[in-house]
Amino acid sequence: MAKNVSDEHGFKGVETISSSSSCQSSSSPRSSPYVHDVGVPLKQNLLKEIAAAVKETLFADDPLRHFKDQPSSKKFILGLQAIFPILEWGKHYNLSKFKGDLIAGLTIASLCIPQDIGYAKLANLEPQYGLYSSFVPPLVYAFMGSSRDIAIGPVAVVSLLLGSLLQDEIDSSANPVGYRHLAFTATFFAGLTQFILGFFRYIYIHEHIFFGLRISCLMVGMIGYRLGFLIDFLSHAAIVGFMGGTAVTIALQQLKGLLGIKKFTKDTDIVSVMSSVFSSARHGWNWHTILIGISFLIFLSVTKYIGKKQKKFFWVPAIAPLISVIISTVTVYATKADKHGVEIVKNIRKGINPPSVKEIFFSGQYAGKGFKIGVVSGMIALTEAVAIGRTFASMKDYQLDGNKEMIALGTMNIVGSMTSCYVATGSFSRSAVNYMSGCETAVSNIVMACVVLLTLALITPLFEYTPNAILASIIISAVVGLVDIEAVTLIWKIDKFDFIACMGAFFGVVFSSVEVGLVIAVSISFAKILLQVTRPRTAILGKVPRTATVYRNIQQYPDATKVSGILIVRVDSAIYFSNSNYVKERILRWLADEEEHVKENSQPRFQYLIIEMGPVTDIDTSGIHALEELFRALQKRDIKLVLANPGPVVVDKLHASKFQELIGEGRIFLTVADAVRICYSKMELEP
């Protein structure tokens, strides 16, 4: 017969509710330890369960909530606003907001023009293509993007990645026309990748707007949307390492322009680059170029320091690159330094973007190569843009719609590929300047694009005497900020495995190539996921002092006391086929270690093993089979298996498999405290 447990264990006087599934005594309620019932979920219709699971998996954000109970005309307007957010916020636009956008647009234009020329060289393209990419894509994004702060254009990381991948297929020096065509092809497929991730999902969830669509299109859309999970494999740590390694690689590449080296390696790894630099030290360096490059690099560094220390002078580092370009260009022109070995930009085509639809490879061998390059660069560009957009959205306390971002970025790159642009995305440096300048909406991108248009139409010939050294200085100054030492230090403190992923990505880029670093970043992040899935954490629990029902990890709470004769183990993961065998063996190892300990200390043997199932969100047939094997292994040791706090999904599957009948009635409890109370009372009754 059951009885109350002594005060020593903190159970006496604790009142609970009776349960038919728990061990109950026929004695009076006051003298019997009652426990709460573990409820079994009601059976639902299978189709409804599947529909609910699909909805929660694919559309947890409930994207159709704005369309509920709306008339058809209103749904059509909401649909247009979903595609073109400018139709929504444009209704509330006023002169005050335009003043902020005008100042911000002019400020980021002064920064983007010299950067665009330099980034185009990173992509092995002529300078005007960098300017083209800051004209059309920002205009498209302003109408379709959901971020108020992001500034669109070429960026260093994507430019280097694109240039590296394209150069492996076509030599930009030997075949510049074919190289340019492949660049536009890659840009088209980069945009298409981004577009598919967003637009097909839009079709799927707004099926009622687009009448006549086939089921196959909807299925492709659903699959296309879910491909977005690939972005999740680029963890924060991997991105920090990848960006840092890319920054170092980009800076090393600029040594050619900074030192005036004419013969330079095409490889990007640090060993090849430094070998090329030192081998040309005797005859290949130009002191005029070095003087220009180092002088303006110091100037840019000082202005950046001023802007960082005094926030009100944020505009100083923003306009410093343009001032550097103007001064250096005038100096070179006046002194005829180009006659003394100083390399200059030379010809920049005047005029706005020419069409490039006919230059895209839609068939043939280069179409496939462009597709592969485009998918990689498109995913990296998308990841960077969404990360930047979310950062500034959180600072201004508004929501960034990832789906709209995919559509906007994809559309602008598709249109850009047809108007002589290469892959554009959100730039962190320009977005930061845009934010600090007081931008209100995406109109700042329109202002920037208009300034670039004027530059293309009127004053591009003035940049022909711009020395390459100044562009190298601007790029080095811009990418230094991508090496985030503070983030690396924090990663080391928080998670050593994340640090390995970070360093793996960093060294992969620096010592091999950008694409190798990217593969390493994804591989290590994926390996971490597999490790966490296949090797979940387990812990032994003890009762926290001065509490009646709280049981916690004894490693986290050293004062927590174990219950004599009862081992309490917690599993911190769902139990699937991938980890079920490990979970079973790990629990048995815990038991063996604890049995050895109690034997050495002449303590009572274990009679019960309680598994805390609260963190176990799900279990499959392999998991249940592992529990059955664990039950049989414990039977041989005369130890009873008890489960505590299982969730609804787990309870449902345990009952469906009749597992509760196997281990015996009254072996599944609502809480660990209930389980301990009943098990301890039974131990006292046993002879």
Mean pLDDT of 228-252: 78
In a domain, residue 232? The reply is yes
84 falls within a domain: no
Supply the pLDDT for residue 461: 77
Task: Tell me the average pLDDT across 363-387.
Answer: 90
Q: Is the pLDDT of residue 1 over 70?
A: no
CB 184 within 8 A of CB 360: yes
Q: What is the pLDDT of residue 71?
A: 79
Residue 33 lies in a domain: yes
Residue 83 has pLDDT above 90, yes or no: no
pLDDT higher at 604 or 44 = 604
Q: Is the pLDDT of residue 64 over 80?
A: no
pLDDT at 18 (0 to 100): 32
Does one domain contain both 552 and 482?
no
- Please check whether residues 499 and 574 belong to one and the same domain: no
- Containing 641, the helix (H) or strand (E) segment is strand 640-644
- pTM exceeding the 0.85 threshold for the entire prediction: no
Region 506-518: mean pLDDT is 87
pLDDT tens string 133-186: 999 999 999 999 999 999 999 999 899 999 999 999 999 999 999 999 999 999
Amino acid at 70: Q
58: pLDDT strictly greater than 80: no
User: What is the model's pLDDT at position 192?
Assistant: 94
Does residue 71 fall inside a structural domain? Answer: no
Residue of 280, 261, 308 whose CA lies nearest to 472: 261
Q: Are residues 152 and 29 in the same domain?
A: no
Which residue would you say has higher pLDDT here, 460 or 561?
561
87 is a domain residue = no
Instruction: Enumerate the β-bridge partners of residue 11.
Output: none
Instruction: Say yes or no: 319 and 304 in one domain.
Output: yes
CA-CA distance, 638 to 311, in Å (whole number)?
A: 71
Tell whether the model's pLDDT for residue 81 goes beyond 90. Answer: no
The structural domain count of the chain equals: 2
Tokens linked to 313:
């002078």
pLDDT reported for residue 2: 36
Contact indicator for 567, 591 with CB cutoff of 8 Å: yes
- 399 confidence band (pLDDT: 50, 70, 90): confident
- Write down the mean pLDDT value for the chain: 85
pLDDT band with cut points at 50, 70 and 90 for residue 66: low
Helix or strand run (H / E) with residue 153: strand 151-153
Residue-wise pLDDT for 614-650, tens only, equals 999 999 999 999 999 999 999 999 999 999 999 998 9
Q: What pairs with residue 540 in β-bridges?
A: 569
The reply to whether 540 and 417 lie within a common domain is no
Nearest to residue 204, comparing CAs of 191, 223, 189?
223
pLDDT surpasses 70 at 59: no
**Same structural domain for residues 466 and 540?**
no
Angle between helices 485-494 and 496-511 (to 10 degrees): 140
Confidence of residue 682 (pLDDT cuts 50, 70, 90): confident
**Do 387 and 293 belong together in one domain?**
yes
CB contact at 8 A, 401 and 385:
no
Burial class of residue 481 (count of CB atoms within 10 Å of its CB; 0-12, 13-18, 19+): middle
pLDDT tens figures, 477-498: 988 888 999 999 999 999 998 8
Which of 476, 506, 529 represents a domain boundary (last residue)? 529
The answer on 541 and 514 residing in a single domain is no
Indicate the residue among 495, 529, 563 that finishes a domain.
529
Cβ atoms within 10 Å of 41's Cβ, excluding its own: 11
Residue 549 belongs to a domain: yes
- Domain annotation covers residue 45: no
Q: Are residues 510 and 410 in the same domain?
A: yes
Does one domain contain both 518 and 566? no
pLDDT in tens, 496-509: 988 998 999 999 99
Residue 59 domain-assigned (yes or no): no
For residue 117, what are its two tokens? 């020329």
| Claim to verify: residue 239 and residue 329 sit in the same structural domain | yes
Amino acid at 434: N
Residue 369 has what pLDDT? 95
Q: Which residue has the higher pLDDT, 210 or 612?
A: 612
CATH code at position 580 = 3.30.750.24
Q: Which of 529, 552, 585 is the last residue of a domain?
A: 529
Q: Are residues 512 and 545 in the same domain?
A: no
Q: Which domain holds residue 652?
A: 7-40+535-685
